[in-house]
Amino acid sequence: MTANDSRGQPETAAPAIELKGISKAFGPVQANKDISIRVMPGTIHGIIGENGAGKSTLMSILYGFYKADAGEIFIAGRKANITDSQAAIAAGIGMVFQHFKLVENFTVLENIILGAEDGWKLRPSLNKARKSLVELAKDYGLNVEPDALVQDIGVGMQQRVEILKALYRQADILILDEPTGVLTPAEADQLFRILGRLRSEGKTIILITHKLREIMEITDTVSVMRRGEMTATVQTAETSPAELAELMVGRKVLLRVDKTPATPGEVVLDVKNLKVVDDKGVERLRGINLNVRAGEVLGIAGVAGNGQSELLEVLGGYQDGTGEVRVNGQLIDLTGKKSDGQSRRARGIAHVPEDRQREGLIMEYQAWENTAFGYHRDPAYKSGILMDNAAIRADTAEKMERFDVRPPNPRLEAKNFSGGNQQKLVLAREIERNPDLLLIGQPTRGVDIGAIEFIHQQIVALRDQGKAILLVSVELEEILALSDRIAVMFDGKIMGERLPDQTDEKELGLLMAGITDTDRDHSVEEVEANLAHAGGDTSKEV
């Protein structure tokens, strides 16, 4: 398909990037299937798709991180043989990875010159980089503190260092992989302004994301990926979010969850002045007050890293805290021997953790062993001094059937299930325990669309049984769809509570950036300063 470029480039210009028939398999998994794509110079090209659609793999191939099994790459009309990152850099490609590739205890300057030094002596390279950093800052508005250690600056700043790294290497093509995952909405806007400026300077940008809003807001063209295949490439101006969503998942999406209004009962979870200080002495929770009633879902919105994880951890019993936490009116210990996952479960608290692969499951354990995980001291699973493995297996088979876990084989290791089925395994274990309070973090992260609906239905069903649910998610849509009340967290504090039908993404976004109603007329500078803080920024913004 010919890109009718919206930015007035002549149609005959060679594409900045052209991929032809790219395929890549990881073992038995086909991550990319015969993918072709053209990106015109001076445009922002979006690539959108669900988690696992193969977007990152495709871009890693373009950056020489993986070798494609088949296919060709053309840069500015010439066939390029990109065998490694070095070749990609030489071809003028720069990449900002989702997880930054920075050396934490190096300075910003050292990170920028790493791999792009001039000569074997370090001094001249550093001096040269310092000079050109000043110019880059002037040209693109990318200010950084060159001598700050990367570990001391916030994520927003670190991302800026990554962009500078690419520009310092004279990249004409910039690939950004899910750049807004760790940013607040307004911080993301700031990033988009920078990208806009880069485009006007003639740079070509590829933006990988799974967020429709970003695609609509900034891209010129957009390609949609599904299950390793490129399903369409369209002009952004000629499409709609609904059309893109359909292309992404292959059928109409149910954006809202069917549910009746909540009928809240007694307070189940009552949290007063809850504080958490981490190993480094940083206060992660700074006096949280909240409560969750029976039969309601309290959604916690916020940018990742503002204390939501610590809140779940301290309530789940594996992070020490101070303050008062009551469950069904009874005080629970927040430190010491009686504060661990086991004693929380005994109090009727079940927990579906944010990261099922790191916390919720033992990937090398079989499904039945995972079903006992955390409940392995349950007397029902005991026979004499030994574990009653047969009983656990029988129990697992039942749970797998009720939660439609496929394949329903209790002896399959957890790593061999898909993301959605792994999550169902965790849900089955926690929900079937009939808890009074369910803590649930990022319930649908990395889960396919069919499983998302199922999981959302289970959460609502549990609420309707009169259970209290504390939901943490960084997906605002999910929070809005599931919650009966929404609390917004920022910098370890609750910024405010809203009712889902009396608020919108914009208001929540402001709260997520630490701006409350009362100070709405603050200047742009103050908002931005606050945002830098939301990313945990401690360095001075120049």
Structure tokens at 184: 């607040």
**Residue 428's Cα: distance from chain center in Å?**
24
Among all chains, which residue has been given the structure tokens 């490439």? Answer: 233
Complex with other proteins: residue 28 or 261, whichever CB lies closer: 28
Complex with other proteins: residue 110 or 220, whichever CB lies closer: 110
Q: Does 65 bind other proteins (CB under 8 A)?
A: yes
Complex with other proteins: residue 291 or 343, whichever CB lies closer: 343
Backbone dihedral region of 320: left (phi > 0), alpha (psi from -120 to 50 degrees) or beta? beta
Closest CB 422 distance from other proteins, rounded Å: 8
Binding mask 111-140 vs other proteins (x if CB under 8 A, - otherwise)?
x-xxxxx-xxxxx-x---------------
Which residues between 365 and 394 bind other proteins (CB under 8 A)?
A: 365, 369, 372-374, 376-377, 382, 385-387, 389
Count CA within 13 A, CB hemisphere, residue 76: 11
Q: Which of 291, 343, 503, 539 binds other proteins (CB under 8 A)?
A: 343
Q: Does 457 bind other proteins (CB under 8 A)?
A: no
Q: Does 165 bind other proteins (CB under 8 A)?
A: yes
Closest CB 522 distance from other proteins, rounded Å: 36
Q: Does 70 bind other proteins (CB under 8 A)?
A: no
Closest CB 440 distance from other proteins, rounded Å: 13
For 219-336, where are the alpha helices, taking DSSP H only? 241-249, 308-316
Contacts of 433 (CB under 8 A, 6+ apart): 345, 350, 375
Closest CB 233 distance from other proteins, rounded Å: 20
Q: Which of 7, 101, 251, 256 binds other proteins (CB under 8 A)?
A: 101
Which residues between 176 and 205 bind other proteins (CB under 8 A)?
A: 178
Q: What are phi and psi of 44, to 5 degrees?
A: -105, 120
Query: How many residues are there in the chain?
Result: 542
Q: 35, 224 in Cβ contact below 8 A?
A: no
Count CA within 13 A, CB hemisphere, residue 330: 9
Contacts of 416 (CB under 8 A, 6+ apart): none
Complex with other proteins: residue 65 or 74, whichever CB lies closer: 65
Q: 499, 298 in Cβ contact below 8 A?
A: no
Complex with other proteins: residue 448 or 484, whichever CB lies closer: 448
Q: Which of 353, 435, 492, 535 binds other proteins (CB under 8 A)?
A: 353
Element (H, E) at 324: strand 322-327
Q: Does 310 bind other proteins (CB under 8 A)?
A: no
Closest CB 23 distance from other proteins, rounded Å: 13
Closest CB 52 distance from other proteins, rounded Å: 3
Structure tokens at 363: 């990937």
Closest CB 207 distance from other proteins, rounded Å: 15
Choices 4-12, 21-29, 70-78, 269-277; region in contact with other proteins by CB under 8 A: 21-29
Which residues between 394 and 453 bind other proteins (CB under 8 A)?
A: 406-407, 412-413, 415-419, 421, 446
Query: What three-state secondary structure class fits 203?
Result: coil
**Exposed (0-12), middle (13-18) or buried (19+): which is 542, by Cβ within 10 Å?**
exposed
Contacts of 518 (CB under 8 A, 6+ apart): none
Cα(504)–Cα(87) distance, integer angstroms: 46
Q: Which of 262, 363, 391, 449 binds other proteins (CB under 8 A)?
A: 363
Q: 260, 464 in Cβ contact below 8 A?
A: yes
Q: Which of 71, 341, 348, 496 binds other proteins (CB under 8 A)?
A: 341
Structure tokens at 531: 């945002």
Choices 49-57, 296-304, 487-495, 513-521; region in contact with other proteins by CB under 8 A: 49-57
| Torsion sign (Cα): 260, 261, 264, 270 | positive
Contacts of 26 (CB under 8 A, 6+ apart): none
Q: Does 84 bind other proteins (CB under 8 A)?
A: yes
Closest CB 459 distance from other proteins, rounded Å: 19
Q: 100, 178 in Cβ contact below 8 A?
A: no
Binding mask 273-292 vs other proteins (x if CB under 8 A, - otherwise)?
--------------------
Q: Does 79 bind other proteins (CB under 8 A)?
A: no
Q: Does 46 bind other proteins (CB under 8 A)?
A: no
Q: Does 454 bind other proteins (CB under 8 A)?
A: no
Q: Which of 160, 293, 345, 393 binds other proteins (CB under 8 A)?
A: 345
Q: Which of 75, 102, 167, 510 binds other proteins (CB under 8 A)?
A: 102
Interface size with other proteins, residues (CB under 8 A): 90
Cα(362)–Cα(381) distance, integer angstroms: 18
316 DSSP assignment: H
Measured CA angle at 522 (ends 518, 528), to 5 deg: 120
Q: Strands 297-301 and 468-472: what pairing?
A: parallel
Among all chains, which residue has been given the structure tokens 């072709």? Answer: 36
Type of residue found at 214: E
Q: Does 252 bind other proteins (CB under 8 A)?
A: no
Cα(259)–Cα(280) distance, integer angstroms: 43
Complex with other proteins: residue 56 or 190, whichever CB lies closer: 56
Q: Does 526 bind other proteins (CB under 8 A)?
A: no
Q: Does 8 bind other proteins (CB under 8 A)?
A: no
Q: Does 342 bind other proteins (CB under 8 A)?
A: yes
Complex with other proteins: residue 381 or 507, whichever CB lies closer: 381
Residue among 426, 407, 452 nearest 359 (CA): 426
Which residues between 461 and 490 bind other proteins (CB under 8 A)?
A: none
Complex with other proteins: residue 159 or 530, whichever CB lies closer: 159
Q: Does 517 bind other proteins (CB under 8 A)?
A: no
Cα(469)–Cα(299) distance, integer angstroms: 8
Q: Does 92 bind other proteins (CB under 8 A)?
A: no
